[in-house]
């Protein structure tokens, strides 16, 4: 059939030319890039090897899929409209995680189809506007790390994979594997899992076993090789110093290497009862120090570019001493995002909530530094619920 254009899609493929799609391979490629429906020209359909008669001569036959351009920064929804849906997806994912732990502890199976559906929803949101879920992933509760960490890793690896141009079916496996990558912790004693101080050598050996448990659970669920390896190998390192198997770079897939970066980044920036999370910039510095022995240098650079030096959801102070949350990324000028200001650091009081686009030439302000809410006793969760949700 002759494809005239894309009608419905989950990805962001922009048709530059039209042409015939004549093979199953071409159809599969369209599906993998998120295309759901296309418009065809029935007058140009080829039947039994013969093109139907038409009044005008056709354009040259293109055996391949129409030439496309992929823009990972494309946003089909505003962050305001996407935040409500993204918040709902995030809450549902937390509920699902909690139920899965309870089910496994009671000896029952986990709802695999629900995890697939959740991963699908998160990816859809990421493709509509990655800033919404990225923002929610940054503004988190201290006492729900175990539940939120896996969701955040799933969100971040989806953003990462989107910017890598990875096909949608692969991203589905990656996101599902990320959602379940720490599920093996259900078999770790609470005395170790919730210990507020450094683990002893013996306790750490017990903790390391969670990766093997995760591998077995996901393998049994038959979620595919990529999801299973992400669950079991995310603590492996390129030089073989990781666990549980000590695999080296040639034994690890690109997807596992991506998961290792995202897992550590989220753990470093997480707020916990016994640990204040790092700023993204500091976390990036630590990850950089781990290249090329622990983490893949090229992949890390792509990840930093994908989420930004000042990721959406980061609390920042401007040179004007106003404080706000980065609410929209700016890929053309990463150091000039849009910031939703609501506090004044010098005068120590709240100010009128206002979006400041630092890339606007009329705005005489700039980023000074990423800061922690504890510095000014700010409750970001409260601010998020009252000021950022529409």
Q: Do 100 and 348 touch, CB atoms closer than 8 A?
A: no
Summarize pLDDT for 262-282 with one digit per residue, the tens.
999 999 999 887 778 899 999
| Residue 126 clears pLDDT 50, i.e. is over it | yes
Q: What is the per-residue pLDDT for 61?
A: 47
Q: What is the per-residue pLDDT for 51?
A: 55
Tokens 């090897």 -> residue: 49
Nearest to 90 by CA among 118, 120, 117, 128: 118
Summarize pLDDT for 205-257 with one digit per residue, the tens.
999 999 999 999 999 999 999 999 999 999 999 999 999 999 999 999 999 99
80, two tokens: 């305001």
Distance CA 299, CA 305 (A): 10
Summarize pLDDT for 162-181 with one digit per residue, the tens.
999 999 999 999 999 999 99
Q: Which residue has the higher pLDDT, 48 or 281?
A: 281
Q: What is the per-residue pLDDT for 56?
A: 53
Q: Alpha helix locations (H) across the chain?
A: 24-32, 79-105, 112-138, 145-164, 168-179, 190-193, 201-208, 210-220, 225-233, 254-269, 280-289, 297-307, 380-383
| pLDDT band for position 146 (cuts 50, 70, 90) | confident
| pLDDT band for position 58 (cuts 50, 70, 90) | low
Q: CA–CA distance from 127 to each of 40, 62, 112, 117, 387 (Å)? A: 25, 28, 23, 15, 24
Q: Which of 112-116, 196-200, 353-357 is least confident? A: 196-200
| pLDDT band for position 16 (cuts 50, 70, 90) | very low
**Secondary structure of residue 42 in the 3-state scheme:** helix
Q: Supply the pTM of this predicted model.
A: 0.82
Beta strands in 294-385 (DSSP E): 315-318, 322-328, 338-344, 349-357, 367-370
Q: Which residue has the higher pLDDT, 382 or 258?
A: 258
Query: What value does the mean pLDDT take over residues 40-67?
Result: 59
Summarize pLDDT for 345-374 with one digit per residue, the tens.
999 999 999 999 999 999 999 999 999 988
Q: What is the per-residue pLDDT for 9?
A: 65
| pLDDT band for position 198 (cuts 50, 70, 90) | confident
Summarize pLDDT for 83-99 with one digit per residue, the tens.
999 999 999 999 999 99
């Amino acid at each position: 059939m002759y494809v005239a254009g894309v009608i419905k899609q989950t990805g962001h493929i922009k048709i530059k030319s039209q042409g015939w799609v004549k093979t199953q391979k071409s159809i599969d490629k369209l599906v993998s890039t998120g295309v759901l429906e296309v418009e065809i020209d029935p007058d140009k359909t080829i039947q039994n090897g013969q093109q139907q008669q038409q009044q005008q001569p056709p354009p040259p036959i293109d055996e391949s899929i129409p030439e496309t351009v992929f823009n990972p920064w494309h946003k089909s929804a505003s962050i305001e409209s996407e935040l409500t849906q993204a918040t709902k997806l995030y809450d549902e994912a937390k509920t699902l995680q909690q139920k899965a732990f309870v089910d496994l502890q009671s000896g029952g199976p986990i709802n695999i189809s629900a995890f697939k559906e959740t991963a699908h929803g998160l990816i859809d949101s990421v493709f509509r506007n990655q800033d919404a879920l990225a923002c929610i992933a940054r503004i988190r509760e201290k006492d729900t790390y175990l539940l939120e960490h896996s969701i955040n890793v799933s969100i971040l690896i989806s953003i990462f994979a989107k910017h890598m141009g990875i096909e949608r079916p692969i991203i589905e496996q990656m996101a599902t594997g990320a959602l379940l990558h720490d599920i093996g912790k259900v078999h770790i004693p609470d005395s170790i899992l919730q210990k507020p101080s450094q683990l002893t050598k013996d306790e750490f050996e017990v903790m390391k076993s969670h990766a093997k448990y995760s591998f077995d659970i996901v393998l049994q669920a038959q979620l595919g090789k990529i999801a299973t390896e992400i669950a079991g190998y995310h603590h492996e390192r390129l030089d073989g110093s990781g666990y549980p198997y000590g695999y080296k770079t040639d034994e690890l897939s690109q997807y596992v290497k991506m998961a290792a970066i995202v897992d550590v980044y989220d753990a470093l920036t997480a707020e916990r009862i016994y640990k204040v999370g790092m700023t993204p910039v500091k976390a990036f510095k630590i990850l950089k120090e781990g290249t090329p022995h622990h983490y893949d240098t090229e992949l890390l650079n792509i990840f930093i570019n994908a989420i930004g030096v000042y990721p959406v959801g980061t609390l920042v102070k401007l040179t004007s001493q106003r404080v706000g949350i980065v609410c929209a990324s700016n890929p053309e000028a990463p150091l000039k995002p849009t910031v939703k200001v609501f506090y004044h650091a010098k005068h120590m009081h709240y100010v009128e909530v206002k979006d400041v686009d630092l890339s606007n030439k009329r705005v005489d302000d700039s980023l000074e530094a990423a800061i922690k809410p504890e510095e000014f006793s700010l409750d970001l969760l409260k601010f998020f619920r009252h000021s950022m949700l529409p």
